[in-house]
Amino acid sequence: MRTTVASRSSSSAFMRFCRDYGWAYLFILAPVLLFLVFTLYPVISALIMSFQHYNPMNTTWIGLNNYKTLFQDDVFWKSMRNTVIFTIGTVPVNIVITFVLSYFIFQMKNSWQTLFKATLYLPTVASGVTLSIVWIAIYDPTSTGLINRFLGLFGIDPVIWLGQSSTALFSLMLMNWLGSHGAGIILYLAAMGGIPKSLYEAADIDHASGWTKFARITWPLLKPTTLYLLVTGVITSFQVFISVYLMTHGGPNFATTTIAYLIYDTAFKFYDFGLASAQSFVLAIMIIIVSVIQFKFLSSDVEY
Amino acid sequence: MHSKSKIIMVTVASVILGLWAIVTIIPLYWMIIGSVQDTTLSATYKPQMIPSIWSVAPFERFFSKTSAWRWLFNSVFISAVLTATNVFFGSLAGYAFAKLKFPGSKTVFWVLLSTMMIPAQVTLIPLYVLIINVFNLGDTYTAIILPGAVSVGNIFLMKQYMSSLPTSLIHAARIDACSEFGIFWKVILPLAKPGLAVLAIFTFVTSWNDFFWPFLITSSDEMRTIQVGLASFVFAESTDYGAIMAGATVGALPMMILFFSLQRYFLQGITIGAVKG
C-alpha cells in the first residue's frame, strides 16, 4: 500500500515535471544533440588522439610524445610566430581603420551614411575563395598584376609579392587591411548613435575640447564594441586558412604557414591525426588564454 | 569658428572615405572587369581597367570546362537547407532560453555558448573520422549539412532577440490554452519575423561562402559546392586568366545581388543582439 502511494506520487511528480518543462527540453533538443555528437564527442576524441599515434588499424598510446615532437619542431614555432605576427599586424590595425571610418561616416548626412556603409560592406559578402583568387591576380608578379602596374607608374620594378618569404606574409596582411570593415563599421555606428547627445552638450557647456570629448565620452562608451571586435577578430585571425591555402600554400619556405594551415597539412597531407590533434589543442589553449586576458584587461571598466 | 572647423572636418572625412571606398571596391571591380575581357585572344593583351575588347567567352569557357551548374545547384540546395534548419531550430532554442523557465537552462546555454571559443581545427579531425568511417557519410549532402544544422551563434542571436519580445503575450496565449509549441508557432514566430529574416539572410550567405568543411568532406566533382569547385578549378587551370575571373565572379555575384536587393537587412540586421552599449 505504502509503496504504491510512494511510486504513484513520484510518477505524478515526474508527470508534472514533464508537463511543466517537457516542451522546453524538446525545444532545445536538436542543438543539444548536435552539441553532444558534433562538438563534445569530437573534443574528447581529439584530446585522446593527441596522446596517440593514430592509425585506423593499429592505434598506439604514446603519451606526451606528440606534444614533445611539436615543441621541438621548427616549423611549428615558425607557424606560431607567423600566426602571432599576422594577428598583431591585422587585428589592432583593422580596429583603428574601422573606428576612423565609422567616426567619419557618423559625421555625414543620412543618405551619404547609407552609401558609404553599403560600399564598405560589399566585400564582406564575397567569399574567401573569391577574394583570394582576385588577390592572386592583383599580386601577380609580372607586370600584369595590378599592384605592380601601379608601382610601375612610379618606375618601381615588379615585386614577387607572394613568391618570396620577405613579402609573402606582409602581402596577406595588406589584403586583410584593405578587405572588409563592413560589419565592424555597422556595429560602431549603432553604438555611436546610442551615445546620448546630452553628454556632448554638457561637455560643450564646460568648454571641453574635441579631444577631451573623444577621450572621455566617445571612446569609453564604445569600449564594449571595441572589445567585441577585438575578441572575435583575434579568434578569427588565429584560424586564418583560406587565403594561406589558396594564395601561398604556406610558403615560400613556411613564411606564411599559420597554425591552422599547419594543422591541415599535418592531418590531411601527412595523415598524422595524433600530432595534428596536439597542434590543435595548443591553438585552442592559445585562443582561450588570449580571450580571457582581453576580457580581464578591457572589460574591467566597461560597466558604467 | 566652430562651424568652420566642422566644415573642414567633414570635407577631410569625405575625401578619406571616398578614397577608401574606391580601394575597397577595386578588387571586386578588377574581378568583374577581368571576366569580360578575353586575354587568350592575343599574347600581348593585358587586362585593362576599362576594357577595349568585351567578351563573354571567359564565362563560356568556365561553364564548359567545369561542372559549374551542378556546383551552383549544390550551393543553392545546401545553403537553403542550412537556412531552414538554422532558422527553425535556432529560433526554437533561442525562444526556450529567453522565455521559458526550466532547470538547467542557464547552464546548458553557457555550455553551448562557450563552445564558440573552441577553434574548428580541434573538432575537425574526429568529425572527419566520425562522418567518413563511423557514419559512412563521406561525399554526401547530409555530411555537409548535418554538423552545421543549427549553429550556437544563431541560437545566441535569437535568444537576444526573443528577450526583447513582450512576455505578456505569451501569458495571454497560455491562458487561451495554446500548447507551448502553438505559442511558439502562432504567437512568437510572427512577432519575430524581422529577426528571422536577418538570421535567414546571414545564414544563407555564410553557408554559400563556406569553404573548409565542404572541401574536406567531398571527394567527387559532382558533390562540390561552387566555392570548393572554384578552388579546384584555379589549381587545375592556372593559365586562363579570363575564365578564372569569370569563375570568381560566378562564386560571388549571387551574394552581391542578394546584398543589393536586401541591403536594409544587411546594414541594420547585424546589430540585433550583437553587443549592448
What cell numbers appear for A238 in the block?
588565429
pLDDT in tens, A55-72: 777 788 888 888 988 898
CA distance B185 to B191: 10
What cell numbers appear for B71 in the block?
556546383
What is the predicted pLDDT for the residue at B204?
Answer: 95
Put simply, whether A144 touches B (Cβ < 8 Å) is: yes
Put simply, whether A263 touches B (Cβ < 8 Å) is: yes
pLDDT in tens, B223-234: 999 999 999 999
A54, A122, A230: best to mutate for the B interface, most B CBs within 10 A: A122
In a domain, B46, yes or no: no
What residues form DSSP beta bridges with A52?
A61
Put simply, whether A214 touches B (Cβ < 8 Å) is: no
Give residues with Cβ within 8 angstroms of B3, minimum separation 6: none
pLDDT in tens, A112-153: 888 998 999 999 899 999 999 999 999 988 877 889 888 888
What is the predicted pLDDT for the residue at A10?
Answer: 67
What is the predicted pLDDT for the residue at A303?
Answer: 44
In a domain, B150, yes or no: yes
pLDDT band of residue A101 (cuts 50, 70, 90) is very high
pLDDT band of residue B268 (cuts 50, 70, 90) is confident
ipTM, 2 decimals?
0.89
CA distance A41 to A274: 16
The average pLDDT across B178-206 equals 88
The tally of domains found in chain B comes to: 1
pLDDT in tens, B135-153: 989 899 999 999 999 999 8
In a domain, B84, yes or no: yes
Question: Residues of chain B with pLDDT > 70: what percent?
Answer: 94
Closest residue in B to A112 (Cα) is B14
Name the A residues in 99-118 with CB < 8 Å from any B CB.
100-101, 103-105, 107-108, 112, 114, 116-118
CA distance A162 to A256: 9
In a domain, B2, yes or no: no
The full set of domain ranges for chain A reads 2-49, 68-299
pLDDT in tens, B20-68: 999 999 999 999 998 988 877 766 677 888 887 788 888 999 999 999 9
Residue B272 has pLDDT above 60, yes or no: no
In a domain, B79, yes or no: yes
What cell numbers appear for A97 in the block?
581603420
What is the predicted pLDDT for the residue at B274?
Answer: 47
Q: Which residues in chain B are closer than 8 Å to A291, comparing Cβ atoms?
A: 117
What is the predicted pLDDT for the residue at B276?
Answer: 40
What residues form DSSP beta bridges with A22?
none
Residue B190 has pLDDT above 80, yes or no: yes
Put simply, whether A131 touches B (Cβ < 8 Å) is: yes
Closest alpha carbon to A49 in A72, A66, A70: A66
What is the predicted pLDDT for the residue at B133?
Answer: 87
In a domain, B18, yes or no: no
Q: Do A24 and B150 touch (CB under 8 A)?
A: no
Closest residue in A to B103 (Cα) is A21
Of B209, B216, B274, the CB nearest to A128: B209
pLDDT in tens, B152-162: 989 988 988 88
In a domain, B99, yes or no: yes
Give residues with Cβ within 8 angstroms of A180, minimum separation 6: A120, A121, A122, A123, A124, B24
Residue B178 has pLDDT above 70, yes or no: yes
Question: Residues of chain A with pLDDT > 90: what percent?
Answer: 38
CA distance B155 to A73: 40
Name the B residues in 98-137 with CB < 8 Å from any A CB.
100-103, 105, 108, 111-112, 115, 117-130, 133
At A60, phi and psi to the nearest 5? -120, 145
Q: Which residues in chain B are closer than 8 Å to A34, comparing Cβ atoms?
A: 146-147, 149-150
Supply the range of the domain harboring residue B181: 67-236
The fold of the A68-299 domain, in CATH, is: MetI-like fold (1.10.3720)
The average pLDDT across A24-29 equals 89
pTM reported for the whole predicted model: 0.90
CATH code at B113? Answer: 1.10.3720.10
pLDDT in tens, A197-252: 888 889 888 888 888 888 888 888 898 888 888 888 998 899 899 999 999 988 78
In a domain, B257, yes or no: no
CA distance A222 to A243: 31
Of A107, A119, A280, the CB nearest to B121: A280
Of A242, A260, A273, the CB nearest to B121: A260
